[in-house]
Structure 1
Amino acid sequence: MSERVEWDDLPADLRSAVEARTGKVVAAEGIADGLNCSTALIIETAYNGPLFLKGVRRTDEPGMAALRCEERINATVGGIGGVSPAIRHRFDAGGWTALAFGCISGRHADLGPGSQDLAAVAATLRRTHDLPVPDFPLPQFADRLRTFLRPGEAQILQGSHLLHTDTNPHNIMIGDGGGEAYLVDWAMPAIGPAWVDPACTAVRLMECGQPPEDALAWLGQFASWRRARPSAIRAFVDATCRHWTATVGDKSAEPSNSRFRRLLECGRTETA
């Protein structure tokens, strides 16, 4: 994670631009989670109440690319009818670009044993995959794994659904009002099979201590997973394991890879 800049350390021009739109910032709390920004703050404002402020220096090319992606996709995923908070303001000042989102009053999702959040998480994943595909280009999920796929496997991993691709617990918020789940940090969206996000979330459940059989039972509620071709699941799992092994080495990758391999225990044939 990159260095995080607190409110008082942001450029004066940026702070002034924020307060010109939101009113005085009377409190600011830094957020440590996330990888794609240089500042992440919950700010309490005079005009707009609490907002989530996320910003990057304009010299940070990867960070700017991720922030631009979040801004563009917010029209699809944010606000009423969406699965994520809407953007309220954009700021360009002091060599920075920042977005102010509506602030969720809530907490990170609990994906561990005994959690009461799993039904809400499942409902939001279903809603996500019913959203329209944005009207700007997004990569196919298979393209991210192309280096690790065998010939012909990219084709069977093609899909037409919007994917978040990073459903770790820090990117799933549970609202205080009614326990609804929200997906945040849309920095790496893709297009692909609808079952990919539920499958990755099931792996996260195992990572958070759920017994594999319970995680797979949760995954089994998704029609997209039940209809998934076993050859596509195999291609996804094998390529993901190769990717992690290439990234961190055999020993470090094995805990994650063993969880992904559990996805192969679906007990289906190719004609099912």
Structure 2
Amino acid sequence: MSERFHWDQLPAELRAVVEERAGEVTGIAPVDEGLNCSLAVVIRTRGDGPLFLKGVRSSDPAGLDGLRCEERVNELVRGVGPAVRHRFESDGWRCLAFAHVEGRHVDYEPGTGDLDALTRTARRMYELPAPRVALPGLADRFAAHLRPGEADALRGTHLLHTDTNPHNVLIGASGDAYVVDWAMPALGPAWVDAAYLATWLMTYGHAPEDALAWLSGLPHWREADRTAVEAFVNVTCRSWTARVGEKDALLGNAHFRHLLDATRR
């Protein structure tokens, strides 16, 4: 995890540039979630109201790559993710200021009332335009765990987020769900993000049959190729097992294997 900086720890030149463009900063609220940036803070400004300010130091090449990638896809994810309002580069820092989503993290547990918002957002993610920028393929993320033929099965041209954990999905005041932190997108089959959402529902207590019933209501899942889903499930399970060990991977892998049940219907 990157070392986190507070607003008052930033170089004076950078703070001045932010206030010159966005207006005087009148309030600050740190954001603890996220692993790929050194600065994550909500600032309230006199000019542009609340903004989410995210930044990395120029000496952090991995962080810079992620921030630049997030900037490149921002136009494509409008309506799903918040818009970039300002870009700053000053005194060894690069930052993006996003429109702030006033709300809370999604609650994936049964009965919370967030499922309708997730359905609307999953449909909007399916409708995202094809990227015109170079992005890694989904198979690239699993390169160390692929078996023959699986890379081809995971090919696709759809823009994927791939990490819809609860910290990356916000429920706004309007009741809509927004997906944030597009620093590590990938290209792949259109149904992949919906499949990830279904496994998160299972992780937080939905019965597999209920999560799969929700998933089967999405048109892009109904178009999923069985061979591609098998490749996705198998390589994901291998990757997770290698990361946490066979015992700790059992439950998470079981959620992914339930996806195969939905392709038999």
TM-score by length of 2: 0.96
User: Unmatched 5+ residue regions in structure 1?
Assistant: none
Code of the aligned partner of 1:132:
P
Which 4+ runs in 1 deviate beyond 6 A?
none
**Residue by residue, what CA displacement relative to the aligned partner does 1:102-123 show, whole Å, maximum 9, x if unpaired?**
1111111111111211111121
Aligned-CA RMSD value: 1.4
| Secondary structure of the corresponding residue to residue 97 of structure 1 | strand
Q: Distance in 1 between matches of 2:230 and 2:245?
A: 21
Match of 1:52 in 2: 52
Deviates more, 1:140-149 or 1:183-192: 140-149
Match of 1:91 in 2: 88
For residues 44-83 of structure 1, what are the structure 2 equivalents within 5 Å? 44-78=44-78, 82-83=79-80
Partners of 1:4 and 1:38 within 8 A in 2 = yes
User: Unmatched 5+ residue regions in structure 2?
Assistant: none
Q: Distance in 2 between matches of 1:236 and 1:49?
A: 42
Q: Is residue 2:113 matched to residue 1:116?
A: yes
- TM superposition shift of 1:217: 1.2
- TM superposition shift of 1:20: 1.0
Code of the aligned partner of 1:109:
V
Q: Distance in 2 between matches of 1:173 and 1:72?
A: 21
Aligned match for 2:100, one of 98, 103, 117: 103
Match of 2:234 in 1: 238
Match of 1:259 in 2: 255
Aligned match for 1:218, one of 206, 214, 220: 214
Partners of 2:7 and 2:28 within 8 A in 1 = yes
Code of the aligned partner of 1:54:
K
Aligned match for 1:248, one of 239, 244, 250: 244
Q: Is residue 2:5 matched to residue 1:5?
A: yes
**Residue by residue, what CA displacement relative to the aligned partner does 1:193-225 show, whole Å, maximum 9, x if unpaired?**
111001011111111122222111111111221
Q: Distance in 1 between matches of 2:158 and 2:166?
A: 22
Partners of 2:44 and 2:50 within 8 A in 1 = yes
Q: Distance in 1 between matches of 2:188 and 2:161?
A: 10
Aligned match for 1:132, one of 129, 134, 152: 129
Match of 1:206 in 2: 202
**Residue by residue, what CA displacement relative to the aligned partner does 1:228-254 show, whole Å, maximum 9, x if unpaired?**
122211111110011011112112222
TM-score by length of 1: 0.93
Partners of 2:130 and 2:159 within 8 A in 1 = yes
Q: Is residue 2:23 matched to residue 1:23?
A: yes
- TM superposition shift of 1:227: 2.2
What number of residue pairs does the alignment pair up?
A: 265
Percent same amino acid among aligned pairs?
56
